[in-house]
Chain A
Amino acid sequence: MKTAQQKPSLVGTGVLLVGAVYCLIPVVWVLMASSKTSSELFTTFTYAPGTSLFSNIADLTAYRDGLFWRWMANTGLYAGAGAALSTLVSAMAGYAMAKYRFPGRGALFNILLAGVLVPGVILAVPQYLLFAELGMTNTYWAVLLPSIISPYGIYLARIYVSASVPDEVIEAARTDGAQDWRIFRSVVLPMMVPGLVTVFLFQFVAIWNNFLLPYVMLGDDKLFPVTVGLSGLLNQGAQQPAMYSLVIPGALLSILPLLALFLLLQRFWQVDLAAGAVKS
């Protein structure tokens, strides 16, 4: 909906360019540093490519019989399963809070809002103590379960349902004799897809990048996600030098799936942002 053909603002473009460079420089650094041997890393020009990208990746793959790829698979499991379950729970909770009238609904929503403001980092230690009580630390569940509840996801889902699922549609379905579960599954859920993609992406990225929770919960490095595993490679104790030439390519590889996911789901994200802007 263009109103007039405007000349691009020089200042605006400049600011955006500076912003783009600011965001891309670290990525270029990671790319360049990944290709260097550990002695090249500290001696050659920072943004010049090195000579050993593939041998670094081969070394990383060989490290303790491919432990790195196990970390990647773990992260995939934590982020994939965690985000999927979290999205489902958010959809159900958000729908219930938006469309059902029940006592305590307002209070519940306020608690939820407060939950959005509490950073997950603060909860890691109490969660650890609870899981220790249950004897469930150092298991896959210790990382998966806390990831399933996301106040922000529920909040987003609730907002999205209020804005994009009209009461009339639900009433019509009910008149046709559909039960609650059927209404949710066949009517509401399809209408929520763009919003849920956003919730899924948010949660996926949050779990993928999460460090503190798995760091606190897990003792066995076969359960580690890639974030905790890589940080451990830098903390080798006294006898070994830090393995920069493994950690940096590892960091590079660990962001590739995120990039792929964003490129794939980007369209839905845009739809959602636009939808929110119009309807609110």
Chain B
Amino acid sequence: MRRTLRGSLVTLTVSALLLSACGGSSDSDAAAGDEPRKPGEKVELNFWSWAPEMDKTVEVFNEAHPDIHVTVNKQDGGDPAVTKLLTAIKAGSGAPDLMQAEYQALPTMVGAGALADIKGQLGDDVQGHFAEGTWNAVTLGTDAVYAVPQDAAPLMFYYRADVLEKLKIEVPTTWDEYAAAARKINEDDPKKFLGTFSSNDAGLFAGLTQQAGASWWGIDGDAWNVAIDSEPSQKVAQYWGGLVEEGVIDNTPMYTPSWNAALNDGSQVGWVSAVWAPGVLAGNAADTEGKWKVAPIPQWNAGESVTGAWGGSATAVTSQSKNKAAAAEFAAWLNTSAEGVKALASISNVYPADTQNSAAALSEPPAFFKDQPDFYEIAAGVSGTVNSFTYGPNTNVAYSAFNDAFGKAATAKKAAAFGEALSTMQTQTLEDLKANGFNVK
């Protein structure tokens, strides 16, 4: 997930305060039944979401469903909304009926008793709309269903087609080729980089290790295990550390003003990012319109086809909702019906997780990539190849450990420091799990 108020003291303070106010598990009853519904009575549902224009998307639902009315409360993207929900759950009131939640936040929310198991309220056909890896993210590998996947965010490789063409570089299909291309570009013009290692974006790094086969957490019976410092993660850390040490990849964090400027003035000529990148590029690098293209992400082994994810979210029903059946009906409509998926894609501009209806919903490439008509075909091709990955109940702790440890490593520009940063992350995440009373193996 992408944040823009990076390192903001306010955000940190708020999270710290709210988290300390809502530590421990909730005593709310996730299995509480619905209030009895009188015939002909209109059900009012509240939906916290940060997707753009979600209120207009929901309008389509409201018009077609006279007995249910959904009101959207727009939230700040990602973490702030989660923190707010957990506080409301702990306080016993104030939570919405429905909540847009990022996949990596689901274990935290389930652990706090914030989400209802809606398996019984969903039709049998819902699961068939999603790729296996995506569905796994909302079941956490259990028999319960905690949310309906909303948008998917498979990693792809964005590059400046004009620059690569000028230097006669083939679009890299493996990470070795990517490294060679990065060297060539930097050699031609030392100010140009094929990418940057961002010590602010743990989500991206997690996605890259996901592609290499890592899964940072795992559930073993009733115990958690942490495998951040694993062989695949080390491979990824060493690879990027090596390129940074060599100086052919930049070490400026993403989503900073200088990075924005570098995208716009053409000194950043490549970006490993997710399917939502066109919106960001359009906003931050307007001058480069028409010069970017997308390709599947480079592979570790030639001929393979796997990727990771960066972001993506699901629609969950909260444990405080008094109308769980109606809420689940809405979540299923939004994410699996032809009209819902179309509205999501065309009005709210997200890449739907639904694999059956997205092709019809996404016939046109994003405006910023109008010269690449097969944009969504490429996206559809890779979205089924996302490796499965389990997030943990303290993803936020691991991510802030990443920011600290890799921030130092990236500044030091030493490949060895990248490996050490990974073990620092492992230790801190594991210690935090133990300190919070989780059963850890």
The residues of A with any CB-CB pair to B shorter than 8 Å are 38-39, 41-43, 121, 124-125, 128-129, 132-133, 135, 137-138, 211-212, 215-216, 219-221, 231-232, 234-243
CB distance from B399 to the nearest CB of A (A): 15
Once the chains bind, are A241 and B284 in contact (CB under 8 Å)? yes
| B residues near A235, Cβ cutoff 8 Å | 3-5, 50, 76-78, 80
Once the chains bind, are B91 and A38 in contact (CB under 8 Å)? no
Once the chains bind, are B78 and A237 in contact (CB under 8 Å)? yes
Q: Is the C-beta of B13 less than 8 angstroms from some C-beta in chain A?
A: yes
Q: Residue on A with the closest CB to B351?
A: A239
Q: How far is the CA of A43 from the CA of B78 in the complex (A)?
A: 29
A125-B17, A132-B94 known; A238+B276 contact, CB < 8 A: yes
| B residues near A124, Cβ cutoff 8 Å | 17
Q: Is the C-beta of B31 less than 8 angstroms from some C-beta in chain A?
A: no
Q: How far is the CA of A130 from the CA of B65 in the complex (A)?
A: 36
What are 28 A-B interface contacts by the 8 Å CB criterion? Answer: A41-B257, A125-B21, A128-B87, A129-B21, A129-B91, A132-B91, A132-B94, A135-B94, A137-B91, A212-B13, A216-B18, A219-B46, A219-B73, A219-B75, A221-B73, A235-B4, A237-B51, A237-B78, A238-B78, A238-B276, A238-B310, A239-B52, A239-B350, A240-B52, A240-B283, A240-B349, A242-B4, A242-B283
A38-B284, A242-B283 known; A231+B88 contact, CB < 8 A: no
| A residues near B80, Cβ cutoff 8 Å | 235
Q: Which of B299-334 contact A (CB under 8 A)?
A: 310-311
- Determine which of B74, B87, B265 lies in contact with A232 in the assembled complex, contact meaning CB atoms within 8 Å: B74
Q: Is the C-beta of B93 less than 8 angstroms from some C-beta in chain A?
A: yes
Q: Residue on A with the closest CB to B260?
A: A42
Smallest CB-CB A-B distances: 8 pairs: A241-B283, A237-B77, A132-B91, A235-B76, A42-B261, A242-B4, A137-B94, A238-B311
Q: How far is the CA of A219 from the CA of B260 in the complex (A)?
A: 31
- Determine which of A38, A132, A138, A238 lies in contact with B274 in the assembled complex, contact meaning CB atoms within 8 Å: A238
Q: Is the C-beta of B282 less than 8 angstroms from some C-beta in chain A?
A: yes
Once the chains bind, are B1 and A237 in contact (CB under 8 Å)? yes
- Determine which of A39, A238, A242 lies in contact with B287 in the assembled complex, contact meaning CB atoms within 8 Å: A39
| B residues near A137, Cβ cutoff 8 Å | 88, 91, 93-94
CB distance from B49 to the nearest CB of A (A): 9
Instruction: Encode contact with A along B40-53: 1 for CB under 8 Å, 0 otherwise.
Output: 00000010101110
A211-B10, A216-B84 known; A128+B91 contact, CB < 8 A: yes
Q: How far is the CA of A125 from the CA of B276 in the complex (A)?
A: 35
- Beyond the given A43-B265, A220-B73, could you list 11 further A-B residue pairs with CB under 8 A, ordered by the A residue number? A38-B286, A124-B17, A211-B10, A231-B10, A231-B76, A232-B74, A235-B77, A236-B50, A238-B1, A238-B153, A238-B311
Interface centre among A128, A234, A241 (most CB of B within 10 A): A241
Q: Is the C-beta of B440 less than 8 angstroms from some C-beta in chain A?
A: no
Q: How far is the CA of A133 from the CA of B349 in the complex (A)?
A: 38
Q: Is the C-beta of B180 less than 8 angstroms from some C-beta in chain A?
A: no
CB distance from A66 to the nearest CB of B (A): 14
A211-B10, A240-B279 known; A39+B264 contact, CB < 8 A: yes
Once the chains bind, are B286 and A39 in contact (CB under 8 Å)? yes
Once the chains bind, are A236 and B14 in contact (CB under 8 Å)? no
| A residues near B265, Cβ cutoff 8 Å | 43
Q: Is the C-beta of B144 less than 8 angstroms from some C-beta in chain A?
A: no
| B residues near A39, Cβ cutoff 8 Å | 264, 284-287
Once the chains bind, are B14 and A212 in contact (CB under 8 Å)? yes
| B residues near A243, Cβ cutoff 8 Å | 283
CB distance from B382 to the nearest CB of A (A): 17
- Determine which of B74, B76, B93 lies in contact with A132 in the assembled complex, contact meaning CB atoms within 8 Å: B93
The B contact surface, by secondary structure, is mixed
CB distance from A244 to the nearest CB of B (A): 9
Once the chains bind, are B93 and A219 in contact (CB under 8 Å)? no
A42-B257, A238-B274 known; A133+B91 contact, CB < 8 A: yes
CB distance from A139 to the nearest CB of B (A): 10
Once the chains bind, are B96 and A219 in contact (CB under 8 Å)? yes
Q: Residue on B with the closest CB to A215?
A: B14
Q: How far is the CA of A235 from the CA of B287 in the complex (A)?
A: 23
Q: How far is the CA of A146 from the CA of B316 in the complex (A)?
A: 32
Q: Is the C-beta of B414 less than 8 angstroms from some C-beta in chain A?
A: no
Q: Is the C-beta of B373 less than 8 angstroms from some C-beta in chain A?
A: no
| A residues near B287, Cβ cutoff 8 Å | 39, 43
| A residues near B284, Cβ cutoff 8 Å | 38-39, 42, 241
Once the chains bind, are B283 and A38 in contact (CB under 8 Å)? yes
CB distance from B7 to the nearest CB of A (A): 13
CB distance from A120 to the nearest CB of B (A): 12
Q: How far is the CA of A231 from the CA of B10 in the complex (A)?
A: 10
Q: Which of B332-365 contact A (CB under 8 A)?
A: 348-350
| B residues near A219, Cβ cutoff 8 Å | 46, 48, 73, 75, 84, 88, 94, 96
| A residues near B129, Cβ cutoff 8 Å | none
Instruction: Encode contact with A along B66-81: 1 for CB under 8 Å, 0 otherwise.
Output: 0000000111111010
CB distance from B63 to the nearest CB of A (A): 18
Q: Residue on A with the closest CB to B55?
A: A64
Q: Is the C-beta of B92 less than 8 angstroms from some C-beta in chain A?
A: yes
Q: Is the C-beta of B2 less than 8 angstroms from some C-beta in chain A?
A: yes
| A residues near B5, Cβ cutoff 8 Å | 231, 234-235
Q: Is the C-beta of B280 less than 8 angstroms from some C-beta in chain A?
A: yes
Once the chains bind, are A43 and B261 in contact (CB under 8 Å)? yes
| B residues near A41, Cβ cutoff 8 Å | 257
Q: How far is the CA of A138 from the CA of B3 in the complex (A)?
A: 25
Q: How far is the CA of A133 from the CA of B96 in the complex (A)?
A: 16
| B residues near A240, Cβ cutoff 8 Å | 52, 279-280, 283, 349
| B residues near A42, Cβ cutoff 8 Å | 257-258, 260-261, 264, 284
| A residues near B311, Cβ cutoff 8 Å | 238
Q: How far is the CA of A219 from the CA of B84 in the complex (A)?
A: 8
Once the chains bind, are A135 and B21 in contact (CB under 8 Å)? no
Interface centre among A211, A212, A215, A239 (most CB of B within 10 A): A239
| A residues near B84, Cβ cutoff 8 Å | 216, 219
Q: How far is the CA of A111 from the CA of B291 in the complex (A)?
A: 65
| A residues near B4, Cβ cutoff 8 Å | 234-236, 242
| A residues near B88, Cβ cutoff 8 Å | 132, 137, 219
| A residues near B261, Cβ cutoff 8 Å | 42-43
Q: How far is the CA of A42 from the CA of B75 in the complex (A)?
A: 27
CB distance from A88 to the nearest CB of B (A): 30
CB distance from B396 to the nearest CB of A (A): 15
Q: Residue on B with the closest CB to A132?
A: B91
CB distance from B76 to the nearest CB of A (A): 4
